[in-house]
Amino acid sequence: MTKPLEGIKIIDFTHVQAGPACTQLLAWFGADVIKVERPGSGDVTRNQLRDIPDADALYFTMLNSNKKSLTLDTKKPEGKEVLEKLIRESDVLVENFGPGALDRMGFSWERLNELNPKMIVASVKGFSDGHHYDDLKVYENVAQCAGGAASTTGFWDGPPTISAAALGDSNTGMHLAIGILTALLGRDKTGKGQKVAVSMQDSVLNLCRVKLRDQQRLERVGYLEEYPQYPHGEFSDVVPRGGNAGGGGQPGWVLKCKGWETDPNAYIYFTIQGHAWEPICNALGKPEWIADPAYKTAEARQPHIFEIFKTIEAWLADKTKFEAVDILRKFDIPCAPVLTMKELANDPSLRASGTIVEVPHKKRGSYLTVGSPIKFSDMKPEVTASPLLGEHTDEVLAGLGYSQQDIFNLREVKAV
């Protein structure tokens, strides 16, 4: 099956998570992604949190599937020469080095554009160009703090909290992928490449859009009616942390199910969607709430929403999270069990859809990874193993016209 990005050649100058997540996605969809790594060491994640001695860590294998690996010392003149050749025949270069690293290497945007005016140069940085923090190196949690996620996550009586979801890393990579595909479509029209830049702060903030909505509502009316602080608590002049409250105007909370005393994940998320109130009352065996003025409207319920949640918890006490959801789904009530990584890894539906995939690897045996979360009617992205360090060096160099002797010479000077 021909994949939509077949024929697009990408120099993958990325490391850790933000950049690799982007290029992995493009590789799934058919792009020829050549990961350029420092000889001897490669992407730092190959060695990070190893669970098998001498085998690439899962951190690396789960972010670099479907790619080729070329080792190249791009600070040596011989390495620069190879990179220049590669640049001349590639469509995209993606990088997420620290600020200024590519310039210091001698590959500024101007130089890259001169070498290949059709090439798209895509970068991830912590902060956008010209930002007063644009000299900072940034990792995931730093970005979550800088982008507004940390100050709005967690409970009001606790500190700012980091989400386990990679809002700073993989999320930024997904934004970059959208930028690259847009620039490729633009190039079809203009014939010109361009620079695509995404900052981790901006990408986090983009996902915190509704919190900026809440800041403006707070400034106008002084309170936020869907937050647990309303109506009994106090609001300051900044959006507070709302615990597990729903963010979209539908009150919701994480509720205890049977076994919560010993199982930290025996919970469901329960949403009280306005128009689902009648089915909720019927499901809970509380038909008297339907017409009761103290319960009838969202406004009437809000002052005692936690008392309502307590009643629902009493109903849940003899039901597991799965049993509860099986009952509630029949009433069209938006809810889900709180799933653990173990449950997700073994979920038959996720296996069948290709969202959880088992990938054979030369050194590790097989490992689980998250496959494409994007599904197509005409294509099923296949996930293949991440490359060993330098696995494709000879193949890529031969493709650039280097002879066996040339490759030997490059090895002699440790350029590859």
Q: Which residues are annotated as a binding site for substrate?
A: 248-250
Our CB check for ligand CAO shows the closer of 137 and 209 to be: 137
* Residue 35 parent element (H or E): strand 32-37
Question: What distance in Å separates the CA atoms of residue 202 and residue 206, rounded to the nearest whole number?
Answer: 6
Q: Which of 47, 48, 88, 101 binds ligand CAO (CB under 6 A)?
A: 101
Closest separation in Å from C-beta 386 to ligand CAO: 16
Tokens 């038909």, residue? 287
Residue 115 is encoded by which pair of tokens? 């070498």
Where in 189-331 does DSSP place strands (E)? 195-199, 252-256, 267-271
Q: Which stretch binds ligand CAO (CB under 6 A): 94-102, 177-185, 221-229, 256-264?
A: 94-102
User: Which residues are registered as beta bridge partners of 256?
Assistant: 267
Closest separation in Å from C-beta 26 to ligand CAO: 16
Residue 169 found at the interface with ligand CAO (CB under 6 A): yes
Residue 233 found at the interface with ligand CAO (CB under 6 A): no
Residue 169 a catalytic site member: yes
Residue 133 found at the interface with ligand CAO (CB under 6 A): no
Question: What distance in Å separates the CA atoms of residue 17 and residue 14, rounded to the nearest whole number?
Answer: 8
Residue 78 found at the interface with ligand CAO (CB under 6 A): no
Q: Which stretch binds ligand CAO (CB under 6 A): 2-10, 124-132, 273-281, 383-391?
A: 124-132
Q: Which of 138, 356, 396, 415 binds ligand CAO (CB under 6 A)?
A: 138
Task: For the segment 19-38, give every residue that binds ligand CAO (CB under 6 A).
Answer: 19, 36-38
Neighbours of 47 (CB within 10 A): 13
User: Which residues are registered as beta bridge partners of 389?
Assistant: none
Q: Which stretch binds ligand CAO (CB under 6 A): 100-108, 292-300, 318-326, 327-335?
A: 100-108
Q: Which stretch binds ligand CAO (CB under 6 A): 118-126, 187-195, 318-326, 375-383?
A: 118-126
Burial pattern 331-355, b for ≥16 Cβ within 10 A else e, equals eebebebbeeeeeeeeeeebeeebb
List, as one string, the DSSP characters of 176-225.
HHHHHHHHHHHHHHHS---EEEEEHHHHHHHHTHHHHHHHHHHHHHS--T
* Nearest one of 94, 90, 143 to 123, comparing CA atoms: 94
Residue 149 found at the interface with ligand CAO (CB under 6 A): no
Annotated binding residues? 15-18, 38, 72-75, 96-98, 104, 137-140, 248-250
Catalytic residue among 32, 43, 169, 202: 169
Closest separation in Å from C-beta 159 to ligand CAO: 21
User: Which residues are registered as beta bridge partners of 120?
Assistant: 92
Q: Which of 88, 104, 213, 414 binds ligand CAO (CB under 6 A)?
A: 104
Residue 12 found at the interface with ligand CAO (CB under 6 A): no
How remote is the C-alpha of 226 from its chain's centroid? 27
Question: Which residues contact ligand CAO by CB under 6 A?
Answer: 16-19, 36-38, 72-75, 96-98, 101, 104-105, 124-126, 137-140, 169
